[in-house]
Structure 1
Amino acid sequence: MTKELAKNLGQEEWYQALVEECRAIIVETVFTSRIELIRGKWLLGDRLWQEKNKGITKLLTRVSVDLRISERECWRCYKFREEYRDFLNKSGEINIEVLPEGKNISWHKIANKYLPQPKEREKIELPEGKYRTLVVDPPWKTEKILREVRPNQVEMDYLLLTAEEIRDFRDKKGKAIPDLFNLNGCHVYLWTTHKHLPDALEILKAWGVKYQCVLTWIKNVGMTPFSWMYSTELVLFGRVGDLDLLKKGERLDFYGKVREHSRKPDEFYEL
């Protein structure tokens, strides 16, 4: 009886009109949410585009850290503003006609189908051979701390990598960091920041390195961004195989003066 009533209801003109109106509401709601997201991406790109004369590549690298979004996404927003400059007029009104696919468009389609894709980063080439001691100082995706020695420099001097990119890094020949380990015995030192300490531990594990301890560089200066003074930097020590230490009883902390950005102290290499 219920099925028969439902079938008959579907034949009523008023019910068919109701369904069509509800569908239109859903389509319009989905479109509105999509177009607002697209509008936000364009506005972000427009703000970045206004600073293009200040070196857009380095700017996108730095601002992606502070905004906590990917560098690729910043680049897409910038290119969206550049390619579709008439999407918003001076009054902030949307011109949907300039976008492909009309109301079926989405940010995902724009970013992956209608924008030029960024060039792949030029990869470095890792050294040949197998090593019994390896020091890895990754370009963690973090902010640069300005110091008096270089007060006018606001960008990093190199491209930054996420924890996943560091873990899975391969050079242009396809060689990975673990390919450098001497499997008969290798000591691995992995530099990290306090923020990325959990990531560094996971990376060692993924590389097949058995973590043993943390060495601490005690600096002559520090910074206080929130509460504690960050006056130390960390380097994880781990082993592949059973290679013994040449010297035993060395302290896990060492003092060294801060010099150029990212330069590690000579005292570390004397351990």
Structure 2
Amino acid sequence: MAIPKLPIGEGIEKVVNWIEDDFGILLDIFSDVTDYIISGFNDTLLLFHPIVFALIIGIAAYFIGRKDLKLAIGSTVGLLLIDNMGLWVLSMETISLVITSASLALLIAIPLGIVSAKNEFAYHIIKPLLDLMQTMPSFVYLIPAVIFFGLGNVPGLVATIVFAMPPAIRLTTLGIQQVPKELTEVADAFGSTPWQKLTKVELPTALPSIMAGVNQCIMLSLSMVVIAAMIGARGLGYQVLIGIQRVDIGQGFEAGLGIVIIAIILDRFTQHLTPK
């Protein structure tokens, strides 16, 4: 006797339709707010002349990198190369989308990581969800994102948040779980409240692991820019997509090089922000 097919797909479709029907107003508000944030961030970045912006980033890289002259020069030259290729506006759109999506992902991921580390029941619920989020093909996230938010930057942002959260949650959980018991026992002996113990002992000790999660979250957000372009997200990813559609090697390579430059700069910045 053949086992009947389980209606998993139909069930997920019903859930998605239920969310769209019953929470449409909230989804519209979220879409308007996030689109306003992305646009505002992008407009702010475009206020600066490319040369001025490149110099500001170079100076910031010098001090953040603990007077690393190579990082400062590399960041400045990389940004000027992006401007020289005529990709400045698209690059600022990409940076706006990446920073906004990574920031929202971290606002969700770090608290979830803390809860997961502190509560074993929550850990056993969150862990399989993270496995699902990390192994599910990223294109699958695009379908409900388009249904809920249409085409544009917002669905790209939502899909990016889902894709980029898992490593930040995992590394936050790992960092807090690896805090030496001696430190927490000393905090308890001095009568620390749970909040004091978390903010004064556990989070500072786990900060290197948490920052590694921040770095991975930003890198994964940037890796989604091309995929997000398939549902209307603007920026360098859209330029790569056009290059693929037109089989234009030069256009695709230049846009890809711009993404690589931004990725290297963001990676080096977050690495140097991590305590040694």
Structure with the largest fraction of strand: 1
State the TM-score bracket (shorter-chain normalisation): under 0.3
TM value normalised by structure 2:
0.23
Structure index of larger Rg: 1
Structure with the largest fraction of helix: 2
TM value normalised by structure 1:
0.23
